[in-house]
Structure 1
Amino acid sequence: MTAWDLAVVGAGPAGAATAIGALRVDPSLRVALIDRAEFPRDKSCGDGIAPQVIDLLEGAGVTGIVEDQVPVPRLRLDRGSFGVDRRMARPTWVIPRTTFDQRLLEAAQEAGATLLRHRVRELVLTSSITLDGQLEARTVVGADGAHSTVRRALGIGPGPMAVAIRGYSPTAPDRSNAQVIVFDTARQPAYAWSFDRGDGLSNVGYGELLDHRHDGPTKAQMMERLDTLLPGATDGGTGWKGHQLPLSAGRWRPPAGRVMLAGDAAGLVNPMTGEGIYYAVATGLAAGRAAAEALAADDPATAGARYARTTRRLLAGHLRHVAAAAWLCRHGAVIDAGLRASAADQRVFDDLVELGLARGRITPTMARGLVRELAGATWDRRRARHRNDIEETSACES
């Protein structure tokens, strides 16, 4: 049986970041990155990479991730007949996961991690941790996605889910050089997107919250909503893939002990936007550092507690705020108010982007903008009703 200091199940962004985080603390650690897939491999995703992700990686010594990629400076948000189109404070990138994940994996291998192709089916926790009777590890991080084997082994059930479909289509002229999101008016919360890769193709897709009381939408239904919201988006499209997204809640409590969860396996996907790469890299780096520090103290059982302390400082406040924002976004009037406030004030727009792509919060500026626009919309409706009442009264009198 092969023994490792740290076994990371899943070699995507969360897993590779975990290995990098651990080896950054102690390059001598024996770290296994375990994945059933052969890399490079495709992964269903919106492919949007926020600049805050690059900040985290560069802080861990990883460079070159966005080399030869085209920055995307603008974000357009539409709902019905109204929308806002602004330049973001910092550009984002749209990098296919085939490229992004491979570059991050190579960085982990260069740091000293060993990639093993294997599908983990069972964890046994005794004085050490055994994976499928073949691998033994002092600490383990589950970074194995929405349907995590490691999470199930810990007895942790899944939380709320969304479902999405993604493909690659020729970039429409009116959607070039931008990330475009169109909120659905028939279903809430739901939206379609078109993210320009900068090479003539765009990542296009549609996603919506799953209702546990009903079956989720079919592929045909999602494709229909995508074409309704973004006419022509599916024309010439290829590589269609569906996937589920485990959405974060307002409170997240990482388990204690020698086994940790990161990224999608931890149920960390932004419930307002569906963004998960920032959480994956942030929690992966934190889990790796926690494992390395616990091993250095010769007390691997403290890894989970160390990880919980770090991630509490990093994400606790943000998760509460984004959960509140996601609940508000179930109401079309709030989305409309947010778009109007963002169109009126660049600061509101920037705060909204930070909340949706990284670890921002509902700022006073954003709250004031929402309240102002909601109050204005209420006043407009009252005036319209009053005017209609007067017209009806006049018509009756005459």
Structure 2
Amino acid sequence: MKNFYTCLVVGAGPSGSSAAYTFAKNGIDACVIDKAIFPRDKLCGGLLTRRTKQCYSDVFCSGWDDVYECKSNGALFFHKGQMINAIENYGELYFCNRRTFDHALLEKVTATGADVVLGDRVEVVDTTSRTCLLHSGRKIGYRYMIGADGVNSVVARAITSKGFDRSRFAFAVQAETPDIICRKEDMVMPEIYFGEVDWGYGWVFPKKNSCSVGIGGLCEKSGDVKRRFREFYFARTNQLYSAPLKGHYIPFGNFSWNAVAKDIIIVGDAAGLVDPITGEGIAYAIESGKYAAQAVISAISNKNITLADEYERYYSKITREMVRANMLQYYLFSRCTRGLVMGALSRSKTMPYHYMDLLSGDIDYKDLFSIIQKKSGIFGMFFRNLKTQ
């Protein structure tokens, strides 16, 4: 183990493992640091889309069938407890246990020869001396750093000097429940619930031997999410949830406009890359980790390339999508319009399939706005304007 690395990656989740793997397979000396000892539990619904599958294949090449527990080709949509629409026999959705998924990715990193430091938290990032001080007292120097340390990122605070503002994030609560309790007979499709919490949604996702039951919404608009989770859990299972609740914060469209500073790139949840409509985060994590590493490699090999400009070519595509998703989020969850949106969703035979296309990466939000504009006169002017942004 060395005291200096060309590339230091803080965080060993999907974004950090993606970056470290890309560095190592390109012959760049890299080290990954994480406060946890893997395998470790990670609170997450564990949804993997076809887009996630493609991102995974682009970086890690093989082993997809080993990282998920079950799959589905449809979904059920509910509003205030009543099913309003469904997708059947269309697309690909996969469901994983994040403990297994994240560990599998990190094992691939270890196999490349990259150094890995687990169970030691980064306490201070000194951008002047380019060093990290770990909880153990050890100091590690770097030339470039990737901040992949999650929503409450130490690295992000080092380059922005901003504290963690909980009110700007969503808060989610989830429980893994034995399938005998909440799974309907032969349940193979995920269930998405609107109207259970303001500015958010609930979900029941099938797993191998369990179901993930969860609910999440924007902190400043959703009130007591823990109380609403208990109500939601009882409605789904007909049982009271008496165990201690586990929750976590989600960026939910609260992304960083500038992800590069002082030879540091923040990626994944650290950069706020979670889609507020679909909840897609793992694909963005893997993708941003890969492109951050590639931007560093390009900057190393060509002195005429700046790290910020190189990464911005990719990152700007994400931020444009996030802006559009945030605008659509307002119409989906606002009290003034959500009733109309839910009514339109319940009547449409095709919109759920377009949602699946969005998850798969076959269409983007600009395409979706064009589709909605054609189908909905009441929002036609809004989406016509939004499409040009």
TM-score by length of 1: 0.82
| Counterparts in 2 of 1:165 and 1:88: CA distance versus 1, 3 Å | farther
Residue in 2 that maps onto 1:148:
153
Residue in 1 that maps onto 2:387:
none
The question of whether the paired residues in 1 share the 8 Å contact of 2:255 and 2:273 is answered with no
Residue in 2 that maps onto 1:169:
177
Cα distance, 1:270 vs structure 2: 1.5
| Structure 1 residue ranges without an equivalent (≥5) | 376-398
Residue in 2 that maps onto 1:217:
224
Could you tell me how far apart the structure 1 residues matched to 2:240 and 2:15 are? 30
Could you tell me how far apart the structure 1 residues matched to 2:126 and 2:329 are? 37
State whether structure 2 residue 200 is matched by structure 1 residue 190: yes
Cα distance, 1:281 vs structure 2: 1.1
State whether structure 2 residue 287 is matched by structure 1 residue 282: yes
| Structure 2 residue ranges without an equivalent (≥5) | 382-389
The question of whether the paired residues in 1 share the 8 Å contact of 2:92 and 2:360 is answered with no
Secondary structure in 2 aligned to 1:89?
Answer: coil
Residue in 2 that maps onto 1:90:
91
Residue in 2 that maps onto 1:328:
331
Cα distance, 1:183 vs structure 2: 1.3
Residue in 2 that maps onto 1:119:
121
| Percent identical | 24
Find the partner of 2:354 among 346, 351, 355: 351
| Counterparts in 2 of 1:108 and 1:331: CA distance versus 1, 3 Å | same
Could you tell me how far apart the structure 2 residues matched to 1:61 and 1:54 are? 10
**CA RMSD across the alignment:** 2.9
Could you tell me how far apart the structure 2 residues matched to 1:298 and 1:156 are? 28
Could you tell me how far apart the structure 1 residues matched to 2:239 and 2:379 are? 31
| Counterparts in 2 of 1:309 and 1:99: CA distance versus 1, 3 Å | same
Cα distance, 1:129 vs structure 2: 1.4
Could you tell me how far apart the structure 2 residues matched to 1:48 and 1:336 are? 27
**5 Å matches for 1:342-381?**
342=345, 344-345=347-348, 347-355=350-358, 360-361=364-365, 362-371=368-377
Could you tell me how far apart the structure 1 residues matched to 2:65 and 2:336 are? 37
For the pair shown, the structure with the greater C-alpha radius of gyration is 1
Q: 1:8-33 CA deviation, whole Å, 9 max, x = no partner?
A: 10000111111123334x2x211111
Cα distance, 1:142 vs structure 2: 0.6
Residue in 2 that maps onto 1:11:
12
Secondary structure in 2 aligned to 1:329?
Answer: helix
| Counterparts in 2 of 1:15 and 1:71: CA distance versus 1, 3 Å | same
Residue in 2 that maps onto 1:63:
62
Whichever residue aligns with residue 177 of structure 1, its letter is V
TM-score by length of 2: 0.84
Residue in 2 that maps onto 1:78:
78
| Counterparts in 2 of 1:138 and 1:367: CA distance versus 1, 3 Å | same
Q: 1:241-272 CA deviation, whole Å, 9 max, x = no partner?
A: 21111222487332344101001111122222
Could you tell me how far apart the structure 2 residues matched to 1:229 and 1:366 are? 32
Could you tell me how far apart the structure 1 residues matched to 2:299 and 2:218 are? 38
Number of residue pairs the alignment of both structures matches: 364
| Counterparts in 2 of 1:335 and 1:106: CA distance versus 1, 3 Å | farther
